[in-house]
Amino acid sequence: MKTKIIWHTFIGICLCFFLCPWIRRLFFNGGLRWQYLLFLSFLFAYFLTPFCRQLALRFNILDNPDWRKIHDRPTPLLGGLAVYLGFSVSLLVNGVFLPDMKILLFGATLIFLMGLWDDIRPVSATLKLILQILISLLVIVWGEIHITLFYGKPWAPVINIPLTVLWIVGLTNALNFFDGIDGLASGISVVIALFLGLIAFKTDQPALGWVAVTLLGASAGFIPYNFRIRGSALLFLGDAGSTFLGFSLAVLAISGEWSDTSHFVSFTAPILIFSILIFDMVYVNFSRIINRKAENLLGLLTCVNKDHLHHRLLFLGFTRKETVFVILTMSTCLGFSALIVMNQKILEAVLGLFQAILIIILIVSLMLKGRDRIPPEGDRRLRSRRRADRM
């Protein structure tokens, strides 16, 4: 206990050190702004997370286990509060706010508050969807941030705007679905933010790169408390954290031009980076419709089951940490595919997409195999306990 207090005090001193104006000027004048934002957001999230855990325990904001969840003991939420504060305060300290960055932070704040409300007092799936759509439309209309799959035609907005809403709302919820196993949602956020940041700096969009590395640092600062080598998570992101990260990454992905060679390549790069989330969302929803677990949109919103990618890998016999490693490795491979195609022409981009399709086929085979191994309802808790014992 004393060692933890000493270490946490040291982190607090480092945080105060980084907040000193002369330290900030030293980094900025040396052309190291992105390193400063990375370190600052990491330190903020890492330092604040234990306080958020105590706050959750104090007000009984807990995620209680049930049949569809993997953890077997009540676990504090509010980890997303540390991530949000680490991200937003670091951007405020940075002091550079382009219009797109202001809109992104405003919309992400609304999404965070809605998720926080849901963590404290559960909100109906229908109301959450309506609010997510309204916030997405606010970002689209106010910030003029949208997918430009079609342009130059009077009817283009009729297609572009619904596609943008689908992209933002879909990925916001897709990352929330992945927050079902220790370290997975925060880990995949780190991977996605890393590749978005790399491409942003390579395409001379430093402001977007600063947002990406700040998201990366805030997510990474939370991971040590959520993904522990020995033992289970000390706290979870909660809906506030997972939806905030999903929304922020989704909006960031459509805020820039990701290739100097072609519009098709610029559209392709984010799809590759988000492929794991997109695939899981599409596959699971189609599977539920085909298997008649849901017959309409409302049914998809209220349907809960252990049929996501991480559940299938667990049913195949992977441990929790092995499952996180496998999924993050796949996501990293797809991110490298995005880096490969970004400076290429359409033919090379198609080849990069083909490489990604092969990875997706591998994931499909794992999903199908995992479906065959789904245990009967009565055996699930026993399997969960055995798996926890092995950890």
Q: Are the C-beta atoms of residues 312 and 366 closer than 8 Å to each other?
A: yes
**Secondary structure element (H or E) that encloses residue 120, with its range:** helix 99-120
Is residue 187 classed as helix, strand or coil in its secondary structure? helix
The per-residue pLDDT for 380 is 45
Q: Residue 388 has which token pair?
A: 């926890």
pLDDT at residue number 1:
67
- Averaged pLDDT, groups of 10, the chain, 391 residues long: 82 91 90 93 96 93 75 85 95 80 91 94 88 94 79 76 93 89 93 94 90 96 91 90 96 83 75 90 80 64 71 84 91 87 69 77 74 51 42 43
Residue 272 φ then ψ, to 5°: -65, -45
CB 217 within 8 A of CB 42: yes
pLDDT of residue 269: 84
| Structure confidence at residue 35 (pLDDT) | 94
Give the residue carrying structure tokens 């984010």: 270
